Amino acid sequence: MTRLIVAAGGGGDAVAAAMLDAALYGDSDDQAVILTYAWDRLLIDPVPGPRGADDFTGLEPITQAVRKVPAEARPIAPAGSTLPRLAAELPHTFALIDPRQGVEGVTRQLEELISHLEPESIDLLDVGGDALARGDEPTLKSPLADALTLAACCQVNARVRLLIAGPGLDGELPLDDLRGTLGPLVHTFTPKDVDPINSVLEWHPSEATGMLAAAARGIRGICEVRDAGLPIPLTDESPAVHEADMDEALSRNELARAIMATTTLDEVEALSREICGFSEIDYERNKALWLKEQPPTRLDAESLLPALAEFEAEARSRGVSHTTFRHLTEALNLNGTQRDALRRLLIDSRPEQYAAPLWHIPATT
Protein backbone atom coordinates (compact mmCIF):
# COMPACT_ATOMS: atom_id res chain seq x y z
CA MET A 1 0.00 0.00 0.00
CA THR A 2 1.14 3.53 -0.73
CA ARG A 3 0.04 7.06 -0.01
CA LEU A 4 -0.79 9.82 -2.48
CA ILE A 5 -0.17 13.47 -1.63
CA VAL A 6 -1.31 16.13 -4.09
CA ALA A 7 0.76 19.30 -3.76
CA ALA A 8 -1.95 21.89 -4.26
CA GLY A 9 0.23 24.70 -5.58
CA GLY A 10 3.32 22.80 -6.68
CA GLY A 11 6.83 24.10 -5.93
CA GLY A 12 7.18 24.47 -2.18
CA ASP A 13 4.03 22.44 -1.53
CA ALA A 14 5.84 19.40 -2.95
CA VAL A 15 8.70 19.92 -0.47
CA ALA A 16 6.20 20.32 2.37
CA ALA A 17 4.51 17.12 1.21
CA ALA A 18 7.78 15.24 1.66
CA MET A 19 8.16 16.72 5.14
CA LEU A 20 4.57 15.79 6.03
CA ASP A 21 4.99 12.24 4.81
CA ALA A 22 8.14 11.78 6.88
CA ALA A 23 6.47 13.33 9.94
CA LEU A 24 3.31 11.21 9.79
CA TYR A 25 4.69 7.97 8.37
CA GLY A 26 8.40 8.06 9.14
CA ASP A 27 8.47 4.43 10.26
CA SER A 28 6.84 3.18 7.06
CA ASP A 29 8.86 1.23 4.51
CA ASP A 30 6.92 2.88 1.69
CA GLN A 31 7.32 6.44 0.48
CA ALA A 32 4.42 8.55 -0.72
CA VAL A 33 3.79 9.43 -4.34
CA ILE A 34 3.68 13.22 -4.59
CA LEU A 35 1.61 14.57 -7.48
CA THR A 36 2.76 18.10 -8.20
CA TYR A 37 3.01 20.85 -10.77
CA ALA A 38 6.28 21.76 -12.41
CA TRP A 39 5.68 25.45 -11.71
CA ASP A 40 8.68 27.31 -10.34
CA ARG A 41 9.60 30.92 -9.74
CA LEU A 42 11.12 32.81 -12.66
CA LEU A 43 14.62 32.61 -11.15
CA ILE A 44 14.38 28.83 -11.70
CA ASP A 45 12.12 28.71 -14.75
CA PRO A 46 12.19 31.87 -16.91
CA VAL A 47 9.18 30.63 -18.90
CA PRO A 48 5.89 31.84 -17.32
CA GLY A 49 3.29 29.34 -16.15
CA PRO A 50 3.44 25.61 -15.41
CA ARG A 51 5.34 23.09 -17.48
CA GLY A 52 3.69 20.14 -19.18
CA ALA A 53 5.01 16.68 -19.97
CA ASP A 54 6.27 17.87 -23.38
CA ASP A 55 8.57 20.36 -21.65
CA PHE A 56 10.79 17.54 -20.29
CA THR A 57 13.00 14.77 -21.54
CA GLY A 58 13.37 11.56 -19.57
CA LEU A 59 9.93 11.35 -17.97
CA GLU A 60 8.65 7.84 -17.24
CA PRO A 61 5.04 6.69 -17.72
CA ILE A 62 3.05 5.69 -14.63
CA THR A 63 -0.32 5.61 -16.39
CA GLN A 64 -1.50 6.76 -19.82
CA ALA A 65 -1.93 10.36 -18.60
CA VAL A 66 0.57 10.56 -15.71
CA ARG A 67 4.35 10.80 -15.92
CA LYS A 68 6.96 10.28 -13.23
CA VAL A 69 9.76 12.85 -12.93
CA PRO A 70 12.95 10.89 -12.14
CA ALA A 71 16.28 12.42 -11.18
CA GLU A 72 17.50 11.91 -14.75
CA ALA A 73 14.70 13.97 -16.29
CA ARG A 74 15.59 17.38 -17.69
CA PRO A 75 13.47 20.41 -18.61
CA ILE A 76 13.87 21.48 -22.22
CA ALA A 77 15.61 24.85 -22.46
CA PRO A 78 14.80 27.62 -21.84
CA ALA A 79 12.45 26.07 -19.25
CA GLY A 80 13.70 25.09 -15.82
CA SER A 81 12.39 22.90 -13.00
CA THR A 82 13.26 21.92 -9.45
CA LEU A 83 11.55 18.53 -9.76
CA PRO A 84 14.49 16.43 -11.07
CA ARG A 85 16.70 17.70 -8.23
CA LEU A 86 13.94 16.96 -5.70
CA ALA A 87 13.72 13.44 -7.12
CA ALA A 88 17.49 13.08 -6.74
CA GLU A 89 17.56 14.22 -3.11
CA LEU A 90 14.32 12.79 -1.70
CA PRO A 91 13.11 9.18 -1.66
CA HIS A 92 9.59 9.95 -2.86
CA THR A 93 8.12 9.41 -6.31
CA PHE A 94 7.25 12.73 -7.98
CA ALA A 95 4.44 12.56 -10.52
CA LEU A 96 3.65 15.50 -12.80
CA ILE A 97 0.38 17.44 -12.80
CA ASP A 98 -0.06 18.59 -16.40
CA PRO A 99 -2.77 21.28 -16.35
CA ARG A 100 -2.87 22.05 -20.06
CA GLN A 101 -6.23 20.23 -20.42
CA GLY A 102 -7.81 22.13 -17.57
CA VAL A 103 -9.60 20.60 -14.62
CA GLU A 104 -10.97 17.75 -16.73
CA GLY A 105 -7.42 16.74 -17.62
CA VAL A 106 -6.14 16.92 -14.04
CA THR A 107 -9.18 14.97 -12.84
CA ARG A 108 -8.40 12.26 -15.38
CA GLN A 109 -4.76 12.14 -14.21
CA LEU A 110 -5.92 11.79 -10.61
CA GLU A 111 -8.42 9.06 -11.43
CA GLU A 112 -5.82 7.05 -13.36
CA LEU A 113 -3.26 7.42 -10.59
CA ILE A 114 -5.74 6.40 -7.89
CA SER A 115 -6.82 3.37 -9.92
CA HIS A 116 -3.20 2.39 -10.53
CA LEU A 117 -1.85 2.95 -6.99
CA GLU A 118 -4.92 2.04 -4.91
CA PRO A 119 -3.52 4.36 -2.21
CA GLU A 120 -4.39 3.89 1.44
CA SER A 121 -4.77 7.66 1.81
CA ILE A 122 -5.05 10.72 -0.45
CA ASP A 123 -4.14 14.15 0.90
CA LEU A 124 -4.41 17.50 -0.86
CA LEU A 125 -1.76 19.67 0.83
CA ASP A 126 -1.72 23.45 0.66
CA VAL A 127 0.90 25.53 2.47
CA GLY A 128 -0.65 28.82 3.55
CA GLY A 129 -4.30 28.19 2.85
CA ASP A 130 -5.20 29.97 -0.39
CA ALA A 131 -7.22 26.90 -1.40
CA LEU A 132 -9.74 28.32 1.08
CA ALA A 133 -9.91 31.70 -0.66
CA ARG A 134 -13.16 33.11 -2.00
CA GLY A 135 -11.34 34.83 -4.85
CA ASP A 136 -11.98 38.50 -4.03
CA GLU A 137 -9.49 38.92 -1.17
CA PRO A 138 -7.19 41.92 -1.77
CA THR A 139 -4.14 39.96 -0.55
CA LEU A 140 -4.73 37.01 -2.89
CA LYS A 141 -1.94 36.66 -5.46
CA SER A 142 -1.83 33.10 -6.78
CA PRO A 143 -5.19 31.28 -6.59
CA LEU A 144 -5.07 29.46 -9.92
CA ALA A 145 -3.05 26.33 -9.14
CA ASP A 146 -4.78 25.66 -5.82
CA ALA A 147 -8.25 26.19 -7.29
CA LEU A 148 -7.42 23.79 -10.12
CA THR A 149 -6.26 20.97 -7.86
CA LEU A 150 -9.15 21.56 -5.43
CA ALA A 151 -11.68 21.35 -8.27
CA ALA A 152 -10.10 18.15 -9.59
CA CYS A 153 -9.87 16.48 -6.17
CA CYS A 154 -13.55 17.22 -5.54
CA GLN A 155 -14.52 15.29 -8.68
CA VAL A 156 -12.70 12.00 -8.12
CA ASN A 157 -14.53 9.00 -6.72
CA ALA A 158 -12.34 8.68 -3.64
CA ARG A 159 -11.99 10.32 -0.25
CA VAL A 160 -9.49 13.16 -0.33
CA ARG A 161 -8.40 14.93 2.85
CA LEU A 162 -7.63 18.65 2.51
CA LEU A 163 -4.70 19.70 4.71
CA ILE A 164 -3.59 23.27 5.37
CA ALA A 165 0.01 23.57 6.61
CA GLY A 166 1.38 26.80 8.02
CA PRO A 167 -1.89 28.77 7.79
CA GLY A 168 -1.19 32.29 6.59
CA LEU A 169 2.48 31.68 5.77
CA ASP A 170 2.15 32.28 2.03
CA GLY A 171 0.84 35.79 2.61
CA GLU A 172 -2.30 35.13 0.58
CA LEU A 173 -4.85 35.02 3.40
CA PRO A 174 -4.23 36.33 6.94
CA LEU A 175 -4.35 33.73 9.69
CA ASP A 176 -7.23 35.55 11.39
CA ASP A 177 -9.31 35.11 8.21
CA LEU A 178 -8.49 31.40 8.05
CA ARG A 179 -9.19 30.36 11.63
CA GLY A 180 -12.90 29.86 11.13
CA THR A 181 -12.29 27.53 8.18
CA LEU A 182 -9.65 25.32 9.80
CA GLY A 183 -10.71 21.98 11.23
CA PRO A 184 -8.90 19.55 13.55
CA LEU A 185 -5.18 19.83 14.19
CA VAL A 186 -3.46 16.95 12.38
CA HIS A 187 0.16 17.64 13.31
CA THR A 188 2.53 20.34 14.49
CA PHE A 189 5.91 20.18 12.78
CA THR A 190 9.00 19.88 14.99
CA PRO A 191 12.73 20.33 14.31
CA LYS A 192 13.02 16.56 13.81
CA ASP A 193 10.40 16.70 11.05
CA VAL A 194 12.53 19.15 9.09
CA ASP A 195 15.61 16.91 9.05
CA PRO A 196 14.60 14.85 5.96
CA ILE A 197 14.41 17.99 3.81
CA ASN A 198 17.46 19.82 5.20
CA SER A 199 19.45 19.52 2.00
CA VAL A 200 16.52 20.77 -0.09
CA LEU A 201 16.04 23.88 2.06
CA GLU A 202 19.61 24.90 1.24
CA TRP A 203 18.66 25.59 -2.39
CA HIS A 204 14.89 25.49 -2.94
CA PRO A 205 13.43 28.99 -3.44
CA SER A 206 10.03 28.46 -1.79
CA GLU A 207 9.44 31.18 0.79
CA ALA A 208 6.29 29.69 2.37
CA THR A 209 7.79 26.23 2.92
CA GLY A 210 11.04 27.82 4.08
CA MET A 211 9.12 29.76 6.73
CA LEU A 212 7.18 26.61 7.64
CA ALA A 213 10.47 24.79 8.27
CA ALA A 214 11.90 27.75 10.19
CA ALA A 215 8.79 27.92 12.38
CA ALA A 216 9.07 24.17 13.02
CA ARG A 217 12.62 24.82 14.25
CA GLY A 218 11.27 27.36 16.74
CA ILE A 219 12.02 30.60 14.90
CA ARG A 220 9.57 33.36 15.83
CA GLY A 221 9.19 36.96 14.73
CA ILE A 222 8.23 38.87 11.58
CA CYS A 223 9.60 37.62 8.26
CA GLU A 224 9.64 39.91 5.22
CA VAL A 225 9.03 38.14 1.90
CA ARG A 226 8.44 38.63 -1.82
CA ASP A 227 9.48 41.55 -3.96
CA ALA A 228 6.98 43.80 -2.14
CA GLY A 229 8.38 43.01 1.32
CA LEU A 230 5.23 41.49 2.77
CA PRO A 231 5.51 40.95 6.57
CA ILE A 232 4.57 37.42 7.73
CA PRO A 233 4.26 36.63 11.47
CA LEU A 234 6.02 33.46 12.60
CA THR A 235 4.07 32.28 15.64
CA ASP A 236 3.36 29.11 17.59
CA GLU A 237 0.52 28.45 15.12
CA SER A 238 2.82 28.62 12.08
CA PRO A 239 4.11 24.99 12.17
CA ALA A 240 0.58 23.55 12.44
CA VAL A 241 -1.19 21.29 9.94
CA HIS A 242 -4.99 21.41 10.03
CA GLU A 243 -7.60 19.46 8.18
CA ALA A 244 -10.23 21.52 6.35
CA ASP A 245 -13.56 20.41 4.95
CA MET A 246 -13.34 19.80 1.18
CA ASP A 247 -17.00 20.61 0.51
CA GLU A 248 -16.78 23.85 2.48
CA ALA A 249 -13.59 24.79 0.65
CA LEU A 250 -15.26 24.24 -2.71
CA SER A 251 -18.31 26.19 -1.57
CA ARG A 252 -16.07 29.15 -0.62
CA ASN A 253 -13.77 29.00 -3.65
CA GLU A 254 -15.67 30.64 -6.51
CA LEU A 255 -12.82 30.09 -8.99
CA ALA A 256 -12.65 26.35 -8.24
CA ARG A 257 -16.39 25.99 -8.82
CA ALA A 258 -16.25 27.98 -12.06
CA ILE A 259 -13.44 25.96 -13.67
CA MET A 260 -14.80 22.45 -12.96
CA ALA A 261 -15.60 21.70 -16.62
CA THR A 262 -12.59 23.42 -18.22
CA THR A 263 -10.58 21.51 -20.81
CA THR A 264 -7.71 23.96 -21.37
CA LEU A 265 -5.44 26.07 -19.19
CA ASP A 266 -6.46 29.10 -21.26
CA GLU A 267 -10.05 28.63 -20.06
CA VAL A 268 -8.85 28.45 -16.46
CA GLU A 269 -6.86 31.65 -16.92
CA ALA A 270 -9.80 33.48 -18.50
CA LEU A 271 -12.06 32.55 -15.59
CA SER A 272 -9.40 33.62 -13.10
CA ARG A 273 -9.27 37.05 -14.75
CA GLU A 274 -13.06 37.26 -14.65
CA ILE A 275 -13.53 36.12 -11.04
CA CYS A 276 -10.35 37.26 -9.29
CA GLY A 277 -9.50 40.16 -11.57
CA PHE A 278 -6.16 38.71 -12.64
CA SER A 279 -4.19 35.65 -13.66
CA GLU A 280 -0.88 35.05 -11.94
CA ILE A 281 0.49 33.74 -15.24
CA ASP A 282 -0.08 37.23 -16.67
CA TYR A 283 1.95 38.60 -13.75
CA GLU A 284 4.74 36.14 -14.58
CA ARG A 285 4.61 37.14 -18.25
CA ASN A 286 4.98 40.81 -17.40
CA LYS A 287 7.74 40.20 -14.85
CA ALA A 288 9.64 37.94 -17.27
CA LEU A 289 9.67 40.77 -19.82
CA TRP A 290 10.84 43.25 -17.15
CA LEU A 291 13.62 40.93 -15.98
CA LYS A 292 14.97 40.61 -19.51
CA GLU A 293 15.51 44.38 -19.59
CA GLN A 294 17.44 44.54 -16.30
CA PRO A 295 21.21 44.91 -16.60
CA PRO A 296 23.35 42.42 -14.65
CA THR A 297 24.46 43.60 -11.21
CA ARG A 298 27.90 42.94 -9.81
CA LEU A 299 27.89 41.00 -6.55
CA ASP A 300 30.86 41.73 -4.30
CA ALA A 301 31.23 42.07 -0.55
CA GLU A 302 32.68 45.58 -0.71
CA SER A 303 29.52 47.09 -2.17
CA LEU A 304 27.08 44.54 -0.81
CA LEU A 305 27.69 44.78 2.95
CA PRO A 306 26.97 48.52 3.24
CA ALA A 307 23.76 48.02 1.25
CA LEU A 308 22.85 45.10 3.52
CA ALA A 309 23.44 47.24 6.63
CA GLU A 310 21.11 49.92 5.24
CA PHE A 311 18.44 47.34 4.42
CA GLU A 312 18.68 45.76 7.88
CA ALA A 313 18.40 49.15 9.60
CA GLU A 314 15.26 49.96 7.65
CA ALA A 315 13.83 46.47 8.29
CA ARG A 316 14.43 46.83 12.03
CA SER A 317 12.47 50.09 11.98
CA ARG A 318 9.55 48.13 10.52
CA GLY A 319 9.77 45.50 13.28
CA VAL A 320 11.17 42.85 10.93
CA SER A 321 13.28 40.09 12.49
CA HIS A 322 13.88 37.77 9.52
CA THR A 323 13.77 37.72 5.76
CA THR A 324 14.08 35.20 2.96
CA PHE A 325 17.03 35.16 0.60
CA ARG A 326 14.64 35.71 -2.29
CA HIS A 327 13.43 38.98 -0.75
CA LEU A 328 16.96 39.97 0.22
CA THR A 329 18.14 39.41 -3.36
CA GLU A 330 15.46 41.71 -4.73
CA ALA A 331 15.84 44.30 -1.95
CA LEU A 332 19.55 44.60 -2.79
CA ASN A 333 18.73 45.05 -6.49
CA LEU A 334 20.39 41.80 -7.49
CA ASN A 335 19.29 39.45 -10.23
CA GLY A 336 17.32 36.40 -9.09
CA THR A 337 20.02 34.14 -10.54
CA GLN A 338 22.43 35.62 -7.95
CA ARG A 339 20.37 34.39 -5.00
CA ASP A 340 22.56 31.36 -4.28
CA ALA A 341 25.77 33.37 -4.55
CA LEU A 342 24.35 36.01 -2.19
CA ARG A 343 23.30 33.34 0.25
CA ARG A 344 26.76 31.74 0.31
CA LEU A 345 28.50 35.09 0.70
CA LEU A 346 26.33 36.15 3.65
CA ILE A 347 26.45 32.81 5.45
CA ASP A 348 30.23 32.70 5.07
CA SER A 349 30.66 36.25 6.36
CA ARG A 350 28.01 36.23 9.11
CA PRO A 351 27.07 32.64 9.97
CA GLU A 352 25.51 33.72 13.28
CA GLN A 353 22.70 35.43 11.34
CA TYR A 354 21.72 32.31 9.39
CA ALA A 355 18.47 31.06 10.90
CA ALA A 356 18.09 28.23 8.40
CA PRO A 357 16.67 28.69 5.88
CA LEU A 358 16.03 32.39 6.73
CA TRP A 359 18.29 35.38 7.35
CA HIS A 360 18.06 36.87 10.87
CA ILE A 361 18.03 40.63 11.31
CA PRO A 362 19.30 41.41 14.84
CA ALA A 363 17.30 43.85 16.95
CA THR A 364 20.46 45.91 17.49
CA THR A 365 23.65 46.31 15.51
Residue 198 shares a structural domain with residue 311: no
| Residues β-bridged to residue 75 | 56
In a domain, 271, yes or no: no
Residue 182 shares a structural domain with residue 307: no
Looking at residue 303, its pLDDT comes to: 83
In a domain, 62, yes or no: yes
Cα–Cα distance measured from residue 53 to residue 71, given in angstroms and rounded to the nearest whole number: 15
Domain final residue pick, 201, 224, 258: 258
Looking at residue 70, its pLDDT comes to: 98
pLDDT along the chain (365 residues), means of 10: 91 96 85 96 91 98 98 97 97 97 98 97 97 95 96 97 97 92 98 96 95 98 92 97 98 98 98 96 93 79 89 96 94 86 93 96 85
Cα–Cα distance measured from residue 141 to residue 155, given in angstroms and rounded to the nearest whole number: 25
In a domain, 19, yes or no: yes
**Angle between helix 265-276 and 280-292 (nearest 10):** 100
In a domain, 229, yes or no: yes
For residues 95 and 67, is the Cβ–Cβ distance under 8 A? yes
Nearest CA to 337 out of 141, 226, 205, 227 is that of 205
Quote the DSSP letter at residue 23: H
Sign of the alpha-carbon torsion through 103, 125, 14, 225? positive
Residue 238 shares a structural domain with residue 325: no
Helix runs in the chain, H state only: 12-25, 83-89, 102-117, 144-153, 175-178, 191-194, 198-201, 207-216, 246-252, 254-258, 265-276, 280-292, 301-317, 325-331, 339-349
Looking at residue 333, its pLDDT comes to: 85
In a domain, 286, yes or no: no
Residue 310 shares a structural domain with residue 237: no
Residue 351 shares a structural domain with residue 223: no
At CA 32, angle to CA 152 and CA 262, rounded to 5?
Answer: 15
Residue 217 shares a structural domain with residue 69: yes
In a domain, 163, yes or no: yes
Looking at residue 330, its pLDDT comes to: 87
Tally of domains within the chain = 2
At CA 60, angle to CA 54 and CA 64, rounded to 5?
Answer: 75
Residue 203 shares a structural domain with residue 136: yes
Residue 211 shares a structural domain with residue 62: yes
**Angle between helix 207-216 and 12-25 (nearest 10):** 30
Looking at residue 1, its pLDDT comes to: 66
Other C-beta atoms closer than 10 Å to the C-beta of 269 total 20
For residues 361 and 312, is the Cβ–Cβ distance under 8 A? yes
Domain final residue pick, 206, 230, 258: 258
**Omega of the bond prior to 357 within 30 degrees of 0, cis?**
yes
Nearest CA to 110 out of 149, 147, 83 is that of 149
Domain final residue pick, 206, 224, 258: 258
Residue 224 sits in which domain range?
3-258
Residue 204 shares a structural domain with residue 341: no
HSE toward the beta carbon, residue 100, CA cutoff 13 A: 11
Residue 249 shares a structural domain with residue 308: no
In a domain, 189, yes or no: yes
Residue 309 shares a structural domain with residue 221: no
For residues 242 and 184, is the Cβ–Cβ distance under 8 A? yes
Distances (CA, A) of 110 to 35, 38, 153, 154, 164: 9, 16, 8, 11, 20
In a domain, 293, yes or no: no
Residue 7 shares a structural domain with residue 136: yes
| Residues β-bridged to residue 60 | 68
